[in-house]
Each structure stands twice: as structure tokens, then as C-alpha cells.
A and B are shown apart, each in its own frame.
Chain A
Amino acid sequence: MAEADITSQLLQYSANGLAKGSTYALMAVGYTLVYGVLQLINFAHAEVYMLGSHFAYYQARWAGYLPEDSAGKPESVPIGLALGFVAVAMIACSLVGMLIERIAYRPLRNAGRLAPLITAIGVSLLLQYGGQAVFGTEPKLFPTFMETEVYELGPIKFPNTNVLIVLTTVVLMTALTLFVTKTRPGAAMRACSHDMKTARLMGINVNATISLTFGIGSAMAAVAGVLVAMDQPAITPLMGVQIGLKAFVAAVVGGIGSIPGAALGGLILGVSESVVGGLWETSYAEAVAFVFLIVVLLFKPSGLLGKATREKV
């Protein structure tokens, strides 16, 4: 009996972790795309995610689905309108992502690796504290985009939000993979990540391609922001810090530069965090990501699905 209990608990935590891992995966894609092209850890990505949820929040608020004071109970938004809000948030975040690249990273493209890293930290701080100044520091209740229902499958319970998170992620990741492998702009992205100089010689508009990369990554982050906000009803300007770090870890674990790697890394981290937190100790869950990271880096520095590069002499 006890054994069956453990098994069903394990399954339950894994199911929860799948949803968490999906949001990591959506975020990790943004890191991995940018790193693949520019070899830059885009620290500001976590703040784009934060902005995504806030953009959706303010639309709902202006549309009258939220009480003016932040303590009141939010109303539920009809599904069509909610999709509209998400679309607008995605577009706005893409623009923000491209703007960040244009202002903070492009002037430093030939200045070595460190300077853009520091401006990335600067942008990240700017958006965190700027967010606090503009949105306020208190947590805000997010509107309900859908009524929560719980499906049961044997011993495991799935809230419909979790199902939505996983499905959205699968759809978006598939679309992104198709985009990168089958279309011409996708081929341009791959070319830039392979060898930017040669790509330019082949007539690829490198700047436009990099902008596109940031735009796509940021749109994914916006979706992740909205999905997480739906699941955990309060949002704050500092909500990106922790998930950003972990999503980057997920990208490295999966093999940075690789889209399936980001998905795999995100899912592994999400599931293992959820299982460790549930079956062992909650505080250790926070450390799981980093333990994974170090173990993977030591044995396969290029990540689980990354390609090993040989140093040329």
C-alpha cells in the first residue's frame, strides 16, 4: 500500500512538474536562441517575461475586468478576449526585446563578450526597478482567464491550467522548430548562429535576423509570463529573477543553442524540482536545478543535446 502511495505521489508530482517544466522550456528557448546567435547570456530575458504578464494584466484592467484597488477580487475574462490580450502582450514583448537588442547590445557587438553581458545586467536591473517604479512593488492579482477544473486520470489529478500550459508549450515549440528548420528566415537564423561572418557574406541581413531572434524569444517569454501568472495568481516586478536563472540553467543543461535541448532541459528541471520538493524537502527543490547543471556540465559540457565543439589551434 505504502509503495503504491509513493508511486502515485511520484506520478502526481511528475505531472505537476511537467507544467512547471513547460514554462521553463518556453523561457529557455529565448535564452538558447540568443546565445546560439550572439553567445550572450541575455539577462534581460527574465524581465521581458515579467513584462509579458504585466502587459496582459494592464489590458485586463483597462478593459474593466479588474477592480481599481489591487486588493479586490478579479473577474474572469472571456476566452476570446483573453487570447487577444495574450497576442498583444506577445507583440509588445517582441518590440521590447528588439528594442533592448538595438539599444544595449548592438553597439557592443564587436566589443568582446563581457561588455554586452554587463549591459544585459544593466537592462535587467533597469527593468526590475523601473517596473517597481511604474507598476508598484505590491503583488497584483492576475485576472482569471479560465475557470479552474480538475481532471482525474487514475490516481493523478490534472488542473486544466496545467493541461493548457503543457499543450501551449507543445504547440509553440513545434511551431518554432518548424519555423527554424523549414522557412527561409529560420535558415538565416541557423546560418547566423553557425557563422555570422559567412552568413553576412552570403547576403543574409544579419541585423534583421538578430532582431527576429530577439523578437521570437521575447514573444515566447510573454506567453510563459501569462501562463505562469494564470497559475500563480499574483505578479510582481521581481517575478522574473528566479525563473530566469533556472530557465537559463535549463537551456545549458539541454545544450545551449539547441531548441529540443531547451525543451528537454526545461522538462527535466521542472519534473525533478517538483518531485524533490514533494517527496523530500521543499527548500532543496530550489537547489536541484543547479546540482543538475553542475553534474551535466562536468560530464558533458556542451549539454545533453548540444554538439561538442573542438577548440581549433
Chain B
Amino acid sequence: MARTIAIFLAALAGCYGLNWFLAEFIEVVYVDYLNLIGIAIILAVSLNVVNGLTGQFSLGHAGFMAVGAFVASPISIWLTYGEFESGPLAHASLLHFGLALLACGVGAALVGVVVGAPALRLKGDYLAIATLGFGEITRIMLQSQDILGGPTGLKRIPKMPQLPGTAGWDGGTSTFWIFLVVAVLVILTVRLQRSTFGRALIAIRENELAAETMGIRSSRMKVMAFVYGAFFAGIAGALFAHYQHSVRPDDFTAVRSIGVVVMLVLGGLGSVTGAITGAVFVTLLPIMLRPVEESLASSGTPITGLSMIVYALLLIAFMIFRPQGIFGQRELSLKLLRSWVPSAVRGKGGKP
């Protein structure tokens, strides 16, 4: 337990240091990429618990993101400004931001129970398509809620709270908050994988019937894994909304859910480091290809969407030559992880 707290404090300091470094030395554009990667990591690692660890194919992650964003944003706006009028942006206070994050996580988790309990009776592609349906219904319903801004969504979502000594930072404190959540999520997930609960999830993935005969209550475990994923997807949605300062229902289409699954499969389904690698890869690749597109456009042969075309081609080629993903089910360099992470994470306490 003491170890976990130490790691958490180190993560806290690390995120602060990272944000300071970025604010001082790095151009805002690159900071933007890093923040988007952070949000992608939260999505991928949390979905990995459902899709990778438990083997339940969910395609509804964007739906939970939407729930999180549209629960947290009004709360945050209301607490910070006391009104829903347009005006200059302000920083949310620490308390208000914390409340908004908690509310959105809990809201998304509750939706996770309501959706998961019936849907997880389905298997394989049927579950996938049902969760996809949930995501789309959520998006379409949000579009017709006038109180939440309808199709144009919410604007003037406050900035993430200030920390001591951050007043002069241009890019704000988004990186700190996003990567703090990343750190918490990764620590929790790695511990979860090694807990009785995590083992139960893996047993369900390998053979649900056998797991049940061993006394694992599989429907309950599956719903719990689903809720875990939903909770963090909700948080990711809230962070996304606060980071962009505005949010529309159309930010959360099925394409985004599919994108998260692509990250997982690319990295290696069932591996935390794989999920992280996939998230970095899928977020960065189109961005990296954009300069090529622009230089082609300026040299007279513009190809619209070249970056996405190359991305799609790489995706196909990658899957054909390495269908199990970058890491398969293993973690990044087993030896390294054996010597580093477990000894550090393996505290004396019980469950996280």
C-alpha cells in the first residue's frame, strides 16, 4: 500500500514536472498532440479491461465518453459561472472540477450498469453491435436535448483548475490533469490484472463455462469490468470537453468507438502496454502524415486526405502481417516489466 502511495505521489510530481517542462519549452501544437494522446490512452487502457482482459467485445466506448462529457460540462459550467451565457473562459476551481469529474465518472458508471447488465448476456459480435447501438442512441438523444445545447452542444466549458505556481503557463494545466488520470488508471489497471478479480476476468475470457464451474459469477464480473471501463471513459469524455472548452454530440460517433478498438487490436488485445502503444500510434500517425500532405499540396499535386489513406493502408498491411498486434497478449518486454513494474507495484495491501 505504501508503495502504491509512493508511486502515486511520484506520478503527481511527474505530471507536474511534465506540464512545467511543456509550458516552458515546447510549442503549444506539440502539447496539443500529447494531450490528445493522453486522452486516447485513457480510452484504450480502460476499454482494454473489457475487450482485452474479459474478452467482451464492446464498441460503445464513445457513448460512455459522451455521457461523461455531457454530465461534467454542465456541472462545471454552472458551478464556475453560475449561468449558461457566453462570455470569457475562466478556470474551474479544484473543488468544482473534482465534483464534475466524480459526477461524470459515477454517471457513466451507472449508465454502464444499466447498459451492461442486459447487453452482456450477448456474446461476440452481437454484443459489439448492441453496444455500438447504445453509443449511437446516446449521441442522437443528446442531439435533441435542447437543455444541453442540441446538436451544437455546449460551449464555454471552464479550463482545468490552476495549481500552485502555474499562473504563467500558456498551455494551462490540461497535461497535468490528463496524465494524472492516465497514471491513476494505469496503476489501477495493472494492479487489477493481478488481483483475484482480474484473474476471474481472464478466466472468463479463456472459457466462460469453465470459469463458472469454478465458482466465478461471470455475469456479475463482466458487468463490473464493463462499469470500470465506463467510469474511465466518462472521465476521458469530461477531460476531452474541458480540454476543448466545447463539446458536441457529434464528437462521439461510432467512428471514435471503432478507433479505440483499432488502438487495442493494433497494440495487442489484452496488454496494457499494447493499449498505450496503440493509442500513441493511432493518434500520432495521421498527425505525422499531415506535413507530407501539406507539402504535396503546396507543390501542386494536392491529395485530399492522404494522411488518412496512408493510415488505412498501414492498418490493413499491419493486420495482415501481424494479426496478433504489436505485443500480442504480452506486455512490453516481459523481462523489463518483471524486474520493474511488479516489484514496485506489488504492495503488501490487498485490492487497490
Let me know if B305 is at the binding interface, CB within 8 A: yes
Provide the bound-state CA to CA distance between A283 and B150, in Å. 11
**Nearest Cβ distance between residue B93 and chain A, in whole angstroms?**
36
Given the interface contacts A133-B303, A293-B130, A293-B133, does A125 sit within 8 Å of B308 by beta carbon?
A: yes
When A and B form their complex, which 5 residue pairs have the shortest distance between CB atoms, in order from nearest? A115-B323, A290-B133, A126-B312, A122-B315, A111-B323
The binding surface of chain A is classed by DSSP as helix
Provide the bound-state CA to CA distance between A109 and B102, in Å. 44
Contact of B136 among A111, A129, A287 (CB under 8 A): A287
Check A107 against B303 for contact (C-beta < 8 Å).
no
Count of chain A residues with a beta carbon within 8 Å of a chain B beta carbon: 49
Let me know if B18 is at the binding interface, CB within 8 A: no
Let me know if A201 is at the binding interface, CB within 8 A: no
Let me know if B125 is at the binding interface, CB within 8 A: yes
Check A133 against B309 for contact (C-beta < 8 Å).
yes
Count of chain B residues with a beta carbon within 8 Å of a chain A beta carbon: 43
Given the interface contacts A122-B312, A284-B140, does A115 sit within 8 Å of B319 by beta carbon?
A: yes
Spell out B's residues near A (CB within 8 Å). 118-119, 121-122, 124-126, 128-130, 132-134, 136-137, 140-141, 143-144, 209, 254-255, 258, 261-262, 265-266, 269, 303-306, 308-309, 311-313, 315-316, 319-320, 323-324
Given the interface contacts A108-B323, A133-B303, does A118 sit within 8 Å of B125 by beta carbon?
A: no
Check A122 against B133 for contact (C-beta < 8 Å).
no
Given the interface contacts A283-B140, A293-B129, does A119 sit within 8 Å of B315 by beta carbon?
A: yes
Check A123 against B312 for contact (C-beta < 8 Å).
yes
Provide the bound-state CA to CA distance between A116 and B254, in Å. 18
Check A121 against B140 for contact (C-beta < 8 Å).
no
Check B122 against A297 for contact (C-beta < 8 Å).
yes
- List A contacts of B121 (CB < 8 A): 298, 301
Check B316 against A119 for contact (C-beta < 8 Å).
yes
Let me know if A63 is at the binding interface, CB within 8 A: no
Residue of B nearest to A125 (CB): B312
**Nearest Cβ distance between residue B261 and chain A, in whole angstroms?**
8
Check A283 against B313 for contact (C-beta < 8 Å).
no
Let me know if A248 is at the binding interface, CB within 8 A: yes
Check A126 against B313 for contact (C-beta < 8 Å).
yes
